[in-house]
Amino acid sequence: MPTSILLKLAKLHGRPEIFFSIQGEGKSIGTPSVFVRTSLCNLHCVWCDTDYTWNWTGTPFRHLNDAKPGYQKFDKKKWIAECEIDAVAASVAAIPCKNVILTGGEPMLQQPALTALTMALRQQSPDYRFEIETNGTIAPLPEFDAAIDQYNVSPKLENSGNTRRLREKPKAYHFFATSPKANFKFVLAEQDDLDEVLSLIFRYDIPPEKVWLMPEGTTAQALSKRRKWLVEICKTHGFRYSDRLHVQIWGAQKGV
């Protein structure tokens, strides 16, 4: 796999967004991990907390932040870092952790470049392990699937503001529902969200042990309001519960 492919990463504080933290959500919650945040996304969620990866100047997409005084869309040239694979691999390798989480944006828009990154790192150490956080609308290429250890699939619901045609791709759903590497994380705020999730689980025959439910919220107070409700749902249906550990620790701060 050539390493001359450029990887488009999100830029935060003027630098490619690569950082060392713990996984705050889902199956691997609490696991020390290196995060590599890609830019670009094929969905445009109105509540997205990484809108600097897609909400470009001149685009028509709505966002809840539109109501905030002074909020502006992002200059695409200023918020994307085009990086050589070897340079990204060197930045990751400098961190004493072998669990790497590829996040976004939607990282599966850049499968060839990310496949090259996994190969470059595994040439340095076969102990590297790769998770990918995806909205579940894109099925992986065979070589990419072979490189990934775990898919953290977070499908978007009607509350995201995306049309069903955009957010629900049957081919991708069927792949992830049957992949032993995949788990599903659904973010819920109210009963309508639960009804939609149960319908998706039935439609694509997703095993309950592959399902994590997580409360929506970017503050500890918002999470607390929905926590007990979701725990009872998990007990009823045999799902797993996930909190948002990073929000409990750091609030809505980015890059941590």
The pair of structure tokens assigned to 174 is: 């069927």
Q: Which of 182, 75, 202, 87 is nearest to 134 (CA)?
A: 182
Task: Yes or no: say if 106 and 43 are a contact pair by the CB < 8 Å rule.
Answer: yes
Q: What is the pLDDT of residues 106-154, one digit of tens each?
A: 999 999 999 999 999 999 999 999 999 999 999 999 999 999 999 999 9
- Residues, the chain: 256
Query: What is the model's pLDDT at position 45?
Result: 95
Task: List, in order, residues 6 or more apart from 240 with CB less than 8 Å away.
Answer: 27, 209, 211, 212, 213, 234
CA 84 to chain centre: 22
Global pTM exceeds 0.85: yes
The pair of structure tokens assigned to 224 is: 């607390």
Q: What is the pLDDT of residues 175-210, one digit of tens each?
A: 999 999 999 999 888 889 999 999 999 999 999 999
User: Identity (one letter) of the amino acid at 125?
Assistant: S
Ramachandran angles phi, psi of 186, nearest 5°: -110, 135
- Domain 6-250: give its CATH code: 3.20.20.70
Within a 13 Å sphere around the CA of 5, how many CA atoms are in the beta-carbon half?
18
Task: List, in order, residues 6 or more apart from 212 with CB less than 8 Å away.
Answer: 25, 26, 27, 183, 184, 185, 186, 239, 240, 241, 242
- The domain ranges of the chain are 6-250
Query: What is the model's pLDDT at position 253?
Result: 60
Task: Yes or no: say if 134 and 108 are a contact pair by the CB < 8 Å rule.
Answer: yes
Q: Strand 240-241 relative to strand 211-215: parallel, antiparallel, unpaired?
A: parallel
